[in-house]
Amino acid sequence: MAIDKTSQSMDSSILGHFGPYGGRFVPEALISALDQLNDAHISAQADPSFHAELTELHKTYSGRPSILTDAKRFSEHAGGARILLKREDLNHTGSHKINNVLGQALLTKRMGKSRIIAETGAGQHGVASATAAALFGLECVVYMGEADTKRQALNVARMKLLGATVVPVTQGSKTLKDAINEAMRDWVTNVEDTHYLLGTVAGPHPFPTMVRDFQRIIGVEAREQVLALTGKLPDAVLACVGGGSNAMGIFHPFIGDKAVRLIGLEAGGKGVESGFHAATISGGTPGVLHGTRSYVLQDKDGQTIESHSISAGLDYPGVGPEHAYLNDIGRAEYRPITDDQAMYAFSLLCKSEGIIPAIETAHALAGALEIGNELGKGATLLINLSGRGDKDVQTAAEYFGLPL
Amino acid sequence: MPTALEDLFTKTKAENRAVLIGFLPAGFPTQKESKAIIKAMIDGGVDAIEIGYPYSDPVMDGPVIQAASEQAIANGVGVDQVFDLLKTSVEYGVPSVVMSYWSPIEKYGAAKFAAAVSDAGGSGVVTPDLTIEESELWKSEASDKSINRIYVVAPSTSQERLPKVSSECSGFIYAASSMGVTGTRSRVSISAKSLVDRIRTTSKTPVAVGLGVSNKEQATEVASYADGVIVGSAFIKIIQEHGAGRSGLKKIKQLAAELSEGVRSAR
Ligand SMILES: Cc1ncc(COP(=O)(O)O)c(C=O)c1O
């Protein structure tokens, strides 16, 4: 199948490099576990029974394929461009995160490990991990920045109900970056029986490649669905970018379709020029963070700068190395979306389509308004609706000044 | 020409004892006090100093060094303070190295960093998160400046991989005593001895053991089989508990003296 060829052609060396990006910058203690994981991933990819098991889970547990929604009323605000929403919000647990989690949970079983650890920002990856742990009978510990446990309190409760232990992280900026540090420390110590179920296309090899492989299904399905519905490929594919997993998942099968623009929307916070943002590619520089070389928000000494975003899931000063590469070779574009732009689009989708999106996802919707107005009538935009907004009701109510 | 660090290991080998290496993050708790702490370590009998470059995301470090690094960064410590402290430590008369995560080195420029270490009289750099696969650049830049490149090996490093890492090390090979992060431990893991034994089958470079050594008994035990003993968190804890005033410095010197006795009485 043509789509699969494009996916493999992007595959990097065994060291997981994407041009100058990617690789492994980790304590030596983790190398054997990363090698074991890479081997497990490669052998699973070549094993039809693995694919059969994962496909069965998608069909009977998480609810794939996810549908495509023609957002007609929302389109009126986007210069008349046709807006198609890939509904990852309808997956079990409410976001795209479950796609990667189910894949890695199966690998955990294949490696004979009994415990998973995960980091989470918005809580969506933590909830998905806790869910898979319950389903497969694994012990689950989720690290979450203390600041995020407050703004995503609903998801903390969900994880606990699912039987996971949630550890609030009080170091540093108390957000996703610090949760990843703590998860790495746990992993270095307990690597014998523990799999680190990383939630995005960042971190040391093989995570960027492996997580992408588990998220590609979004783009594979969407490409067929758009072709079936419109008879042609979309003009642009849009997704929000935190670490970059939902974006890489929908972009990847389109990489070989040169006429299709791939556009990632980063968290512009209060504006990139204000310094209060999480727009890593738009406002960062190449560097090393969390085991990989990519764009990073950092100062002249290589110290990580704290990121800022209204959205916990995008509040991260790094980004997946493959995005850095796609940006540099000009295959994908990245734009910042401010908190205010995102919240405007959030409200618009609620009222025009009856869909409450995650605030992360609202950044992609704001991008759709911008790009739609640039391209105008006749253009078709495919948007990854990465998650639903139940977890964000509190934040949104505060933003809009609604009494709760 | 051998580095001062290599000369030290040659000397202690002739004396049939292990080297005692003290670790401190630059600028902790302040730049001035970090100099006094290093002085107290040396006065107590520490043979070599490892200066930590405080970094925002130290995934190899436990709570003690994390807190010290955070404090140093909050005080504005950067690359200038690291090299200033390195120079001071060398002037105090002991071989000195820098320990740095890769991000600050890459940002500063690998060649410039190696040159600055060399210019300050430093003997080398310990790189805890630079895997040998990613070290081509560092290898060429650092060998140019004839400083030691010191990598960490872990109990999980496979027998097949071990010679690949150990052959890239000079000065010493940093053996992580156990699977985990820095910090004091009630016991030094038994995996330390077997790791050192495994390294010996692949390399003649001296082996120093770090992670979890905090008192005389542990130093003595490790010094019975390793060429070097690295102590960090135990010193930092003293400062965190007693400050860097007279009583704190006295306790630093006292711990250094006990550890020093330990490495001298081990064999
Ligand atoms: C709904 C949703 N979308 C997007 C993201 C951002 O992650 P990524 O960039 O890896 O897709 C998150 C992360 O928590 C999320 O919950």
Phi, psi of B163 (to 5 degrees): -65, -30
DSSP per position, A293-346: EEEE-B-TTSPBPPP--S-GGG--SB--HHHHHHHHTTSEEEEEEEHHHHHHHH
Contact flag B179-A189 (C-beta cutoff 8 Å): yes
Instruction: Enter the tokens of residue A97.
Output: 């995160």
Indicate whether residue A243 lines ligand 1 (CB < 6 A). Answer: yes
A401 exposed, middle or buried (CB, 10 Å; 0-12, 13-18, 19+)? exposed
Contact flag A191-B58 (C-beta cutoff 8 Å): no
> Do residues B3 and B171 make contact, with C-beta atoms less than 8 angstroms apart?
yes
Using most ligand atoms within 8 A of CB, pick from A360, A365, A383 the residue to mutate for ligand 1.
A360
- Residue A15 binned pLDDT confidence (cut-offs 50, 70, 90): confident
Phi, psi of A246 (to 5 degrees): -70, -35
Contact flag B70-A172 (C-beta cutoff 8 Å): yes
Looking at CATH, the fold of the domain delimited by A17-60+97-211 is given as: Rossmann fold (3.40.50)
Q: Is A68 helix (H, G, I), strand (E, B) or coil?
A: strand
* pLDDT string in tens for chain B (267-residue length): 899 999 999 999 999 999 999 999 999 999 999 999 999 999 999 999 999 999 999 999 988 999 999 999 999 999 999 999 999 999 999 999 999 999 999 999 999 999 999 999 999 999 999 999 999 999 988 887 889 999 999 999 999 999 999 999 999 999 998 888 888 777 777 789 999 999 999 999 999 999 889 999 999 999 999 999 999 999 999 999 999 999 999 999 999 999 999 999 999
**Ligand 1 center–CA B267 separation, angstroms:** 57
Q: Which atom of ligand 1 sits closest to the CA of residue A120?
A: 14
Instruction: Enter the tokens of residue B160.
Output: 């097949």
CA angle A14, A16, A19 (to 5 degrees): 115
CB contacts, 8 Å: B58 with chain A: 181
Using CB atoms, pick whichever of A27, A300, A303 lies closest to residue B56. A303
What mean pLDDT do residues A259-281 have?
98
Q: Express as a percent the part of chain A with pLDDT over 70.
A: 97
Most A CBs within 10 Å, among B56, B80, B161, B178, to test the A interface: B56
Confidence (pLDDT) at A214: 98
In this complex, how many residue pairs, one in chain A and one in chain B, have their CB atoms less than 8 Å apart?
112
CATH of A63-94+216-400, one of 3.40.50.1240, 1.10.357.10, 3.40.50.720, 3.40.50.1100: 3.40.50.1100
> Do residues B72 and B54 make contact, with C-beta atoms less than 8 angstroms apart?
yes
Most B CBs within 10 Å, among A196, A303, A304, A316, to test the B interface: A303
Indicate whether residue A241 lines ligand 1 (CB < 6 A). Answer: yes
Confidence (pLDDT) at A14: 61
Indicate whether residue A91 lines ligand 1 (CB < 6 A). Answer: no
Distances (CA, A) of A206 to A15, A321, A330: 8, 11, 24
Confidence (pLDDT) at A404: 77
Give me the amino acid identity at A375: L
Q: Would you list the domain boundaries of chain B?
A: 4-264
Q: Is B76 helix (H, G, I), strand (E, B) or coil?
A: coil
What mean pLDDT do residues A122-140 have?
97
Instruction: Enter the tokens of residue B187.
Output: 């016991």
pLDDT tens across A68-106, in order? 999 999 999 999 999 999 999 999 999 999 999 999 999
**Ligand 1 center–CA A399 separation, angstroms:** 20
**Displacement of CA A323 from its chain's centroid (Å):** 12
Higher-scoring residue by pLDDT: A93, A5: A93
Confidence (pLDDT) at A6: 35
Beta-strand relationship, A82-87 and A68-70: antiparallel
Closest listed residue to residue A198, CA positions, set A57, A30, A333, A62: A30
Q: What is the ipTM of this complex?
A: 0.96
Confidence (pLDDT) at B227: 98
Instruction: Enter the tokens of residue B16.
Output: 């049939």
Q: Is A349 helix (H, G, I), strand (E, B) or coil?
A: helix
CA angle A62, A68, A74 (to 5 degrees): 125
Q: Would you list the domain boundaries of chain A?
A: 17-60+97-211, 63-94+216-400
> Do residues B266 and B213 make contact, with C-beta atoms less than 8 angstroms apart?
no
Could you tell me the end-to-end alpha-carbon distance of chain B, in angstroms, rounded to an integer?
A: 30
Residue of A nearest to B160 (CA): A32
Instruction: Enter the tokens of residue A22.
Output: 């990617």
Closest listed residue to residue A359, CA positions, set A348, A371, A344, A343: A343
Report the C-alpha gap between B124 and B99 in whole angstroms.
Answer: 9
| CATH architecture under which domain B4-264 falls | Alpha-Beta Barrel (3.20)
Report the C-alpha gap between B250 and B253 in whole angstroms.
Answer: 5
pLDDT at A2 over 60: no
